Structure 1
Amino acid sequence: MNPWALPLILTAAVVLAWLRLGWRQWRAPGAARSRGWRLALLLLAQPVLAALLYLTLSPQQTRMAEPETLTILTRGGSVAGGRTVALPEAARRGGIEQAPDLATALRRHPGIRALRIRGEGLTERDRPAARGLAIAFDPAPLPPGLIAMTPSDRTAPGGPFRVSGQVEGGGSVALLDPAGVQVAAAPVDAEGHFTLDAAARMPGTALLRLRSRSPRGLVTSELAVPVRTTAEPGLRVTLLGGAPGPEVKFWRRWASDAGLKPVVRVALGAGLALGDPTPPLTVGGLSRVDLLILDERSWAALGGGERAAVAAAVRGGMGLLLRVTGPVPPGYGAAMGLPLAGGAASAPVRLLDRDGKSLPILTRRVVQVGARDAQTLLADATGAVLAGWRPLGRGRIGAWLVTDAAGLVSAGHGEAYGAIWARLVGTLARAGTSNAPRFDPLAHRGERTALCDLLAGDTLVLPDGKARRLLPDPATPGCAGYWPRVGGWHGLRRGDTIRPFYVHAALPAAMIAAERRDATLALVRDRPDAATVRDVSLRPGASWPWLLGFLAIAALLWWFERARIGRPADRRPD
């Protein structure tokens, strides 16, 4: 039944009663009309009767707690009646029982089988105690500010990295470097999501700041964004060039600065070559190479056995990048499923920097790629393909068509040059075989965080340089729990290397509230019978007091309409 049907019917009845009283008063002779106060009482009695009848037929619901249900107040929660216990995060209220944690509250109230949680939600401390119970959750509104953030795990020197997340309350976000200079900014979308792109610089660790502002421009929250810039550990890249030139010179400088292990050898003609000792071009020798870079002239100089060894090494996991600096010789890349043709003609390349400004015009070779499954790796502002790749076995083979990318460095755009090569190398190079440890990117002081993919002998290094032994979690092999007491850069020592990770001193209030809300909602979803807790919390109120009142007023009105009080003495009762 429509909830508005009964009020509308009773309202119509009151209006009809008023019209009836008014019509009778108007039709009566002047001397026989009722006194004004009598008419006013009769008119007022109609809505009173209608209200009492409405409360009789639809009594107000009352909030009642089941004998086996306990209401738990967390931060921001409000009292709703019934047996209630406040956890330490909730504001202290007189007359409300306090408990240091949920487990203590359950021990004080044996027999509890259902919880009603009000406020932000349960902390990590109390979630294990709530498992196995039916749970209803009344979340408090989130405060404005950052509620989620995902930083880049690792960035190659000169390469791009991305920071994404979500903001409650709308507005905009900005990414600031350690000097406070804005490096990226963007408004949030209708759902509060955002994505910011920036470029890494020198190897090492750095702390950027992510700042959110409300639609009015007020700062709502700030959060440190740790950036770890390093090359893939042990990444070995070999470049074989058919002739010397600025491309090889600037590439070697970038590779050394980026922390790679470059091996460069350039042919000078007449059987002479200049550069480093290169590994033998055999399957065994190339197993020690993560990425091999060739141009069309060095490819043409390879023998049949060497080409077969390169193809076998790619199928085994090595990456191969084919540079195109001139006309493509027959069969270039065809043996590995990436046939290239053309290269005699050239075309301009128009690139944009991160701010949308035009970079110096470069040149690319016009090449036809015969592989249907080839994927675009890089393209310019007009959509022209600059680099593509395809998988081959466990490795990848790619093609690079730009001939003068070093012009970016000489024009003062070394950051853009580094970003291009970081993407090429990061996409094509052999994937690492060792399991890198995993950390929570939002680990913060005073809360448990998990360290996973650990090996025997791994030790924790605190910001002050002291080492701590990790105790493995018996329930999760390869993981260990850690409760950081201080914020800052920590490290995981594995052998001779230390893998840094950052612990936040504190997170924005909105992010903490969102994490507790989501974790508590996950507990609710794990218990399909949790909805019954909410259903029993509201019960219809008693209707008999309203019925007695309705009967009493109706009887009194029936007597008053027939009494001669307020009417002329010679008038008969209605």
Structure 2
Amino acid sequence: MIPFVVLGVLGLLFLALEWQRPRRERLALRLAATLVAWTALAALLAPPKFPALAARRIGVLVTPGASMAEGRRAADSIGTAEPMVLPSPGVYDPAHLARRHPELDSLLVLGAGVRDEDWAGADRFSVTAGRPPRATGFVAATWRRAALLGDQVAVEGRFVSPGAAPAQLRLEDLSGVVDSLETAAADTTFRFSLVPKAAGRHRYVVRAVGRNGATMAAESLGVAVVAAAAPSLLLLQGTPRFETRDLTRLLAGRGGRVAVRTRVAKDRYLREFFNRRVEPFERLSPELLRSVDIVVLDGLTVNELSAPEMALLRRAVLEEGLGVLVWRDSVARAVSRNTGSDQRFFLEFPLVRQPGALTRESGVALRGPAHTGASPVEVESSLFEERPDAVPILEDGSGRTLAAVLVRGRGRIGTSLVLTPSAWAYRQERDLFEAYWGRLLGAVARDTADRWSVSPDGPVTVDQSLAITLFSSAPAPVATVRTPAGAVDTVSLRREAGSTDTWSGLYWPASAGWHELRREGGGSLDFHGEPAGSWAGADRSARARGTARRASLPPGKGPAEGGVAGVPRERPMPRWWLFVVFLVAAGWLWAEGMRTRGRTIMQ
């Protein structure tokens, strides 16, 4: 900065001297030449840049499944371009290439390719995908990494045999085969179902077995199972129910806070409290509704609520996220267009009455499709209609919805067609009874705890990026990951645009094993990182899909328009140009000075 200031001061001084010379002829030319000379001298220190077309550079990116020799042969075959053979994205990812090699504007990708998430930051490349190697083995698999105790976990995917077709695909745990599928196709899809029996970190194996009994391929996966925290519940019923006793026992046994009000006669109520202090209440109040996560009521209770209570309950659902679960009694089934709007807000569901009997026997898909017929219970014969705001929660063995929730503002209102869930408890199928209520109450409960989401849903190996999403009301959450070795890493989170409670970040597992993702002062999520080299078929398939998808998109900065293929770049002006300009201007000033001095001497 100082040299430019000095040159500027000297330039102004020389301009002033030229202006004060007594001879005024050619004054404008002398001033212009002085200005040009000093400007050229200043530009020599920092040459200006101007846009120019640089020759297009093509990089040959060698990824797993291709060799460097193949990359060099591909570079030689390109011909007129200036190819550059680059190593695998395990060393240099495309975003790194974009930063380190600004001269590149095109990539030819050989081998399996690059995953979707690894193309971030490399939008300016024009991508051409070579023919990827054939992916074999378990080429796709998805499952839930975390599940609530009693929930059904589905493992879905695709197996491609490298040779003869397998005889059987299996899902195994430490005790043996959990689920299996007989197959005779070399390329087949599969879907396994399981219901973990205990909370904890569980490991499973998907295995392909040949006709001779030998293992053709096997991969492992992890599922973290946690016991659902019992919600705080307010139960209002217009008549005593047998099911109420079993539900309150279940929640109270898990530490849930439950308040029950049962109408036993006109203007007479029985009140019961479990794991909470006794606080007799005659009417609903804002404090009472804020102290619970779910309100369970029937149609008779809805009709008996006063207008202020109805408005208070409705506001708690829409604005504060309170959940409501409706018993299907005769009043709820008789709701129609003639029913008041406040009552319809809680009782109207997209249900179609069926001719014939009011109820039927049906299984419920709580253990998976293979076991739905083992425990039939009494259900209402009405059928749910599909509607955008209706979210199915439970189905029968035929795929018909048995329970659904309606999204209402920040809250949810749900109902179930299952009339006698306690039958499972008395048939020594307590796990079905607990799974039913856990899924139903969890679907409508107020969101008070952190919720984590980790993608992709399939296998995650060492050094593969994980997209982490946290749904939390904390103002500035701090996320940490405890590695299998016990070290603690911090994950940088940023708030999603347009959201107040959604945060996202990236994490790369550096070692295989169980990792614990946790928010300081909040909830946690366990996930398992698989060893490097495992799930090779799924990795190759994901790379091929990501590269093909990226090759189908236009580059962020395409070739320059015109007859010459190239990309716009900035080049500094050559210094010798500036030096020539300085010499010409300074030389003319010197010659003009000599001419003027000679004329003065002659005179």
* TM-score range relative to shorter protein: 0.5 to 0.7
Q: 1:227 and 1:373, CA in 2 relative to 1: closer, same or farther beyond 3 A? A: closer
Q: 1:406 and 1:531, CA in 2 relative to 1: closer, same or farther beyond 3 A? A: same
1:174-204 CA distance string (max 9 Å, x none):
3323433314647699975443333344444
CA distance in 2, matches of 1:469, 1:379: 41
Q: Using structure 2 for the length normalisation, give the TM-score.
A: 0.60
Q: 1:187 and 1:295, CA in 2 relative to 1: closer, same or farther beyond 3 A? A: farther
**Are positions 1:516 and 2:514 aligned together?**
no
Q: 1:262 and 1:149, CA in 2 relative to 1: closer, same or farther beyond 3 A? A: farther
Is the CA contact 1:291–1:318 (under 8 Å) kept in the aligned structure 2? Answer: yes
Instruction: Report the Cα offset of residue 219 of structure 1.
Output: 3.9
Q: 1:403 corresponds to which residue?
A: 419
Q: Secondary structure at the match of 1:117?
A: strand
Instruction: Report the Cα offset of residue 287 of structure 1.
Output: 3.3
CA distance in 2, matches of 1:223, 1:318: 42
Instruction: Report the Cα offset of residue 372 of structure 1.
Output: 9.2
**Are positions 1:363 and 2:362 aligned together?**
no
Instruction: Report the Cα offset of residue 479 of structure 1.
Output: 4.6
CA distance in 1, matches of 2:332, 2:292: 25
1:42-74 CA distance string (max 9 Å, x none):
xxxxxxxxxxxxxxxxxxxxxxxx995554443
CA distance in 2, matches of 1:224, 1:491: 19
Q: Secondary structure at the match of 1:261?
A: coil
CA distance in 1, matches of 2:315, 2:101: 69
CA distance in 2, matches of 1:528, 1:469: 34
Is the CA contact 1:351–1:359 (under 8 Å) kept in the aligned structure 2? Answer: yes
Q: 1:530 and 1:181, CA in 2 relative to 1: closer, same or farther beyond 3 A? A: farther
1:363-397 CA distance string (max 9 Å, x none):
34567999999956545457887445444444333
Q: 1:310 and 1:515, CA in 2 relative to 1: closer, same or farther beyond 3 A? A: same
CA distance in 1, matches of 2:97, 2:404: 61
- Aligned-pair identity in percent equals 21
For 1:338, give the aligned amino acid.
L
1:431-478 CA distance string (max 9 Å, x none):
458564645543322344444449443322222433233456899995
For 1:290, give the aligned amino acid.
D
Q: 2:262 corresponds to which residue?
A: 267
Instruction: Report the Cα offset of residue 338 of structure 1.
Output: 2.6
For 1:320, give the aligned amino acid.
V
CA distance in 2, matches of 1:110, 1:393: 49
Is the CA contact 1:321–1:398 (under 8 Å) kept in the aligned structure 2? Answer: yes
Is the CA contact 1:121–1:139 (under 8 Å) kept in the aligned structure 2? Answer: no
Q: Which moved more, 1:149-158 or 1:120-129?
A: 120-129
Q: Which runs of 5+ in 1 are unaligned?
A: 1-65, 91-98, 533-574
**Are positions 1:429 and 2:445 aligned together?**
yes
CA distance in 2, matches of 1:358, 1:256: 30
CA distance in 2, matches of 1:416, 1:189: 35
Instruction: Report the Cα offset of residue 510 of structure 1.
Output: 0.8
**Are positions 1:459 and 2:480 aligned together?**
yes
CA distance in 1, matches of 2:123, 2:379: 61
For 2:288, give the aligned amino acid.
G
Q: Secondary structure at the match of 2:420?
A: coil
**Are positions 1:443 and 2:475 aligned together?**
no
Q: 1:312 and 1:330, CA in 2 relative to 1: closer, same or farther beyond 3 A? A: farther
Q: 1:562 corresponds to which residue?
A: none
CA distance in 1, matches of 2:495, 2:551: 26
For 1:444, give the aligned amino acid.
T
CA distance in 1, matches of 2:118, 2:331: 68
**Are positions 1:349 and 2:374 aligned together?**
no
Q: 1:304 and 1:112, CA in 2 relative to 1: closer, same or farther beyond 3 A? A: closer
1:233-274 CA distance string (max 9 Å, x none):
6843333345666523432354467x6834142538454333
Q: Which moved more, 1:517-526 or 1:295-304?
A: 295-304
**Are positions 1:293 and 2:296 aligned together?**
yes
CA distance in 2, matches of 1:336, 1:247: 25
Alignment equivalent of 1:74, drawn from 59, 63, 66: 63
Q: Which runs of 5+ in 2 are unaligned?
A: 1-54, 77-83, 560-603
CA distance in 1, matches of 2:287, 2:495: 41
Q: Using structure 1 for the length normalisation, give the TM-score.
A: 0.63
**Are positions 1:323 and 2:318 aligned together?**
no
Q: 1:207 corresponds to which residue?
A: 203
Q: 1:505 corresponds to which residue?
A: 531
Q: Where do residues 23-422 of structure 1 align in structure 2 (5 Å cutoff)?
A: 69=58, 71-77=60-66, 79=69, 81=73, 83=75, 101=92, 114-122=106-114, 132-169=124-161, 173-183=169-179, 185=181, 192-212=188-208, 219-230=215-226, 235-241=231-237, 247-255=243-251, 261-265=256-260, 267=262, 269=264, 271-276=269-274, 277=278, 281-296=284-299, 298-299=301-302, 302-316=305-319, 317-324=321-328, 334-336=343-345, 338-339=347-348, 347-351=359-363, 354=368, 355-356=370-371, 358-364=373-379, 375=390, 378=394, 380-381=396-397, 386-422=402-438
Q: 1:336 and 1:271, CA in 2 relative to 1: closer, same or farther beyond 3 A? A: same
Instruction: Report the Cα offset of residue 407 of structure 1.
Output: 0.9
1:342-362 CA distance string (max 9 Å, x none):
999853322166314623443
CA distance in 2, matches of 1:475, 1:293: 34
For 1:359, give the aligned amino acid.
A
CA distance in 2, matches of 1:302, 1:119: 68
Is the CA contact 2:240–2:263 (under 8 Å) kept in the aligned structure 1? Answer: yes
Q: Secondary structure at the match of 1:252?
A: helix
Instruction: Report the Cα offset of residue 311 of structure 1.
Output: 3.0
Instruction: Report the Cα offset of residue 522 of structure 1.
Output: 3.9
Q: 1:288 and 1:150, CA in 2 relative to 1: closer, same or farther beyond 3 A? A: farther
For 1:491, give the aligned amino acid.
E
Instruction: Report the Cα offset of residue 150 of structure 1.
Output: 2.1
Q: Secondary structure at the match of 2:460?
A: coil
CA distance in 2, matches of 1:215, 1:528: 49
1:400-446 CA distance string (max 9 Å, x none):
34332111122122333333323322333334585646455433223
Q: 1:43 corresponds to which residue?
A: none
CA distance in 1, matches of 2:183, 2:87: 37
Q: 1:121 and 1:394, CA in 2 relative to 1: closer, same or farther beyond 3 A? A: closer
Q: 1:475 and 1:271, CA in 2 relative to 1: closer, same or farther beyond 3 A? A: closer
CA distance in 2, matches of 1:419, 1:117: 49
For 2:460, give the aligned amino acid.
A
Is the CA contact 2:139–2:538 (under 8 Å) kept in the aligned structure 1? Answer: yes
